[in-house]
Every structure is written in C-alpha cells, then in structure tokens.
Amino acid sequence: MPRLPFITFEGSEGSGKSTQADRLAARLQRCGIPCILTREPGGTLIGESIRELLQFAPHNKNMTPETELLLFEASRSQLVREVITPALERGVCVIADRFSDSTTVYQGAARKLDREMIESLNAFAVGDCIPDVTFALDVDAATAELRMRREPRKADRMEQQPADFYERVREGYRELAAGEAKRFVMIDASGDVEEIEKQIWETLCSRFPVLAKVSNP
C-alpha cells in the first residue's frame, strides 16, 4: 500500500480548522484507514506542557515574540520525532491541527519577526517532515470573532489579540498559499460545515488514490 498522507489544517482562531480536522479523522476511521490526529502546540507530554505555558499560564502576559517563537519550535520538534514521523513510517495517516505554517504566519506575518530566521528554525524543527497537503481555512476576522464568542470556554492568549493581528494572519496565509500552490488548498470557511468537509474529502481523494479506493460513508 502507498504511504498514507501527512495532512495539516491551518487558519486563524475561529476558522473551523479544528472541527474539520476532527471530522476528517472520524471519516478515515469509519473507512478503516489507520490515522492519528494531533495538534500544535502539543501532541506530546512535553508539547502539552509548552501549550499550557503559551496559552494559559498566568505569567505569560509579558512573553516576548522571540520566546513565543522558540517555544512553538520546541513543541514541534518533539512532536515530529516522537509522534508524526514514527506514525508515517508505520503506515498511518497523520492529521495535524496546525504545523510549521502557523509559525511562518503568526510569528512572521503577524508578529513581524524575520522571515528567513523563522524558515531556518522551522527547517531545523521538522527536518524532512513536510505535509503532503495543507488545508488553509479562510474566514474574515469578524466572522472568526463571532464564532469564538459562541464557544463557552476561556479565551487563550492567542485568542485575545487585536483585530489587526488577525488581519495580518489572514493575509499571511493567503500569501503563503499563493507561493506554495501545489501543497496548499485554500478553503472558504464561511460556508456550511458539511459542504466544507465534502470539499476537503473530494480534494484528498483526487490527490491520493489510496483514499479514493475506500468506501465513502
């Protein structure tokens, strides 16, 4: 059997990327395709500790962009070597809710750190572990904010950024996708959840025949 793909989901907070990652993982499981769903930051014990520090730790208010960048890369490096690469080598499909593109956009386009430095750190963290396809869910900042307000949970540090930050995030993803059109698939995330799921599945089946051969529940 051909190697199953490494699939990543990207987008701003409130874009629906986590929902679509969950739905894809559930569909693959129903189809009998071995898969794991992981997330960034997190996905390992070390990564989850870093996630807590980045998002909710009471002493993270004064975290500098440089510190933020290095913490994301540390979590990613552990995730790649402990989880993602071994799973792919075992013949398992890997779905990641965020990966290195998030750092390129959030710490690069939005935080305005040096792009070349970020690309170098990303390369060091991931090695040759590059996604086969990346779905970037695109939604305007107003819609994203409305969705986040509907969720009955405490907003994390990244979700408390000002509106112009998220506009830079959105433009950053668009620019990144335009430069890597073969890997990126831009998805209008303002529509119906089921229709978006269908579009994602049809794209995957067209790109990976091994998925097209399984039943479509």
Q: How many CB atoms lie within 10 A of CB 146?
A: 12
Q: What is the pTM of this model?
A: 0.93
What are the tens digits of pLDDT across the range 15-38?
999 999 999 999 999 999 999 999
Predicted local distance difference test score (pLDDT) of residue 215: 55
Strand bridging mode 93-97 / 133-138:
unpaired
pLDDT at 54 over 80: yes
Query: How far apart, in whole angstroms, are the C-alpha atoms of residue 76 and residue 82?
Result: 10
Under the banding of pLDDT at 50, 70 and 90, the label for residue 93 is very high
pLDDT at 184 over 70: yes
Query: Please, which residues bridge with residue 104 across strands?
Result: none
Predicted local distance difference test score (pLDDT) of residue 169: 93
112: left (phi over 0), alpha (psi -120 to 50) or beta: left
Under the banding of pLDDT at 50, 70 and 90, the label for residue 146 is confident
Strands (E), the chain: 6-11, 35-39, 93-97, 133-138, 184-188
The token pair that represents 166 in the structure block: 């998220």
Average pLDDT over residues 162-179: 92
Under the banding of pLDDT at 50, 70 and 90, the label for residue 147 is low
Q: Calculate ∠ Cα 172-69-123, nearest 5°.
A: 80
C-alpha atoms less than 13 angstroms from C-alpha of 204 in its C-beta half-sphere: 27
